[in-house]
Structure 1
């Protein structure tokens, strides 16, 4: 079998017999050459494997040809802390173990907060190009921000097909007009798009307001969910990574299972508070310059946008270009 191995110093592909054991894995040069205690993780999301039973075959613990494993330096913890971190309930872990870290940044400027179990909450930035909501959703659900264009098409079709739900009163314009406008790359997405996309793909969506710490839930009741981060005018993608190199996105976890909670609502609110402490990170909606893509009017704040839409029936708005 061929296994891709990522260590703190390199990444390579190693070849093992199909009947290889944990002991055979540990003898590989890429792993054997590392100094100190290590932890080996496999699966998705990556989970530590038990290295005590050396004779167990890799296939019996779910490691098969083509899989990727991650090797990290082991954190040495006091026995009482180690016991607390083994709790499946993140609420209990946070009550007993040390608190989260303050906001940190990587060498490339990525923001993250380390959780008590040494995983990291990460803001994965997407471009500010009027499609940030669609890109954030696509990054989280498909792991591909470029799928955002397809999401516009889905929203457009759903609005036209279900006009009993998506009425003109809710949309702010006729369904036909809204369906046409949402296809334009200048059209911003919001609550309507999150609700439609959540229902389309059978997931819930938590939208974390960075300024207030409020968590808005769209299409509730689903087993799986994603999180998007809202900073007043912009959406970014939220991820959990277990890698020490936070800039490495290969093993990001962006689609979450409610039964296997990796973080709590309090964790999200703490993350929002930390991000909000950055000067200029959050944009006040009352001061946003917005352009009407129908007539070209420049409007200041949500109030002017709402008044303009009511007066003119225009519903196609976008960011004012810096150019």
Structure 2
């Protein structure tokens, strides 16, 4: 078929696949994707849609059309991690997950309550939270992929991501964000919004302000995170009937925005946030007390210590 084109997003940027038709085999598609990304065929992990859902490419003799892929589609291509041998105990430990609504047919109309899902406070809470609203499960392994795609996005556009924007030289930022103890913020949220094609709404429980990343792109769907001054958590809709949770919402549904605002107000009134100007933490490496975010950040830079506990 002439004019059959597929867009491919990877952590290194967006590319275009030409030279295929809808009647070509899945194996031919996988070979093309492997050539384009440098990933081995057996390690390709391909997703599409909103939120991204895995496309089954196991039947290599079937056609591209059989997989539901049509010209103009955008595929997100990741590299699977090599499987490591696990002990029986490790096999039991699976990421926490629940049945999760993955398409618009399952969308509800305010038939539930918006709830905060607690994710680990391990300096990758932003990435874990974004992974949760996309996939309905807590999986800290997604942080490495997101850090790398952010670093690549920043490195590829030094004019957009200048030292004035980043607060440090472009190259230094890229090295910094790849470190597992580096925290994500507004810059990282905006890049993830663009990459996944979703509006990401961040509700600040300190100020009650809502920031809508990707709002000007007029995306069809949005997800919600709540930020307490230090830590990000994802928000999800818990249905009254106990069915599947919902983390993806149409951008034309303003009721969920209002509910998220109310949740932030409740969190603020009950002081479920960290006052970044006045909070006190103890460095658990050297047992020094530090007051405020700037002091903690400077201490981390000076010593390399990142193991802090808040003092109430």
TM-score (norm 2): 0.56
Residues 15-50 of structure 1 deviation map (CA, whole Å, 9 limit, x = unaligned): xxxxxxxxxxxxxxxxxxxxxxxxxx99855369xx
Instruction: Give the corresponding residue for 2:228.
Output: 231
Instruction: Give the corresponding residue for 1:101.
Output: none
Instruction: Give the corresponding residue for 1:46.
Output: 106
Residues 233-262 of structure 1 deviation map (CA, whole Å, 9 limit, x = unaligned): 1110011122444xxxx7211122113x27
Instruction: Give the corresponding residue for 1:139.
Output: 132
Query: In the alignment, is residue 253 of structure 1 matched against residue 246 of structure 2?
Result: yes
Q: CA deviation at 1:300?
A: 3.0
> Is 1:130–1:319's contact at 8 Å kept on the other side of the alignment?
no
Instruction: Give the corresponding residue for 2:81.
Output: none
Question: Aligned to 2:168, which of 164, 168, 173?
Answer: 173
> Is 2:204–2:227's contact at 8 Å kept on the other side of the alignment?
yes
Question: Aligned to 2:189, which of 194, 197, 200?
Answer: 194
Query: 1-side partners of 2:289 and 2:145: how far apart?
Result: 29
Query: In the alignment, is residue 278 of structure 1 matched against residue 270 of structure 2?
Result: yes
Query: 2-side partners of 1:159 and 1:317: how far apart?
Result: 26
Query: 2-side partners of 1:42 and 1:222: how far apart?
Result: 16
> Is 2:203–2:210's contact at 8 Å kept on the other side of the alignment?
yes
Q: 1:304 to 1:240 in 2, by over 3 A?
A: same
Larger radius of gyration: 1
> Is 1:290–1:317's contact at 8 Å kept on the other side of the alignment?
no
Q: 1:297 to 1:186 in 2, by over 3 A?
A: farther
> Is 1:287–1:300's contact at 8 Å kept on the other side of the alignment?
yes
Query: In the alignment, is residue 154 of structure 1 matched against residue 154 of structure 2?
Result: no
> Is 1:210–1:273's contact at 8 Å kept on the other side of the alignment?
yes
Instruction: Give the corresponding residue for 1:268.
Output: 260
Residues 187-209 of structure 1 deviation map (CA, whole Å, 9 limit, x = unaligned): 00000100111111111111001
Q: CA deviation at 1:179?
A: 0.8
> Is 1:188–1:318's contact at 8 Å kept on the other side of the alignment?
no
- Unaligned 5+ runs, structure 2: 1-100
Query: 2-side partners of 1:170 and 1:297: how far apart?
Result: 32
Q: 1:270 to 1:170 in 2, by over 3 A?
A: same
Residues 246-283 of structure 1 deviation map (CA, whole Å, 9 limit, x = unaligned): xxxx7211122113x2734322221112222334x211
> Aligned with 2:267: secondary structure?
helix
Paired residues, what number? 204
Query: 1-side partners of 2:281 and 2:159: how far apart?
Result: 30
Query: 2-side partners of 1:320 and 1:228: how far apart?
Result: 23
> Is 2:107–2:249's contact at 8 Å kept on the other side of the alignment?
no
TM-score (norm 1): 0.54
Q: 1:43 to 1:133 in 2, by over 3 A?
A: closer
Query: 2-side partners of 1:262 and 1:242: how far apart?
Result: 18
> Is 2:281–2:309's contact at 8 Å kept on the other side of the alignment?
no
Q: CA deviation at 1:321?
A: 4.8
> Aligned with 1:187: secondary structure?
coil
> Aligned with 2:144: secondary structure?
helix
Query: 2-side partners of 1:318 and 1:288: how far apart?
Result: 16
- Unaligned 5+ runs, structure 1: 1-40, 49-87, 89-116
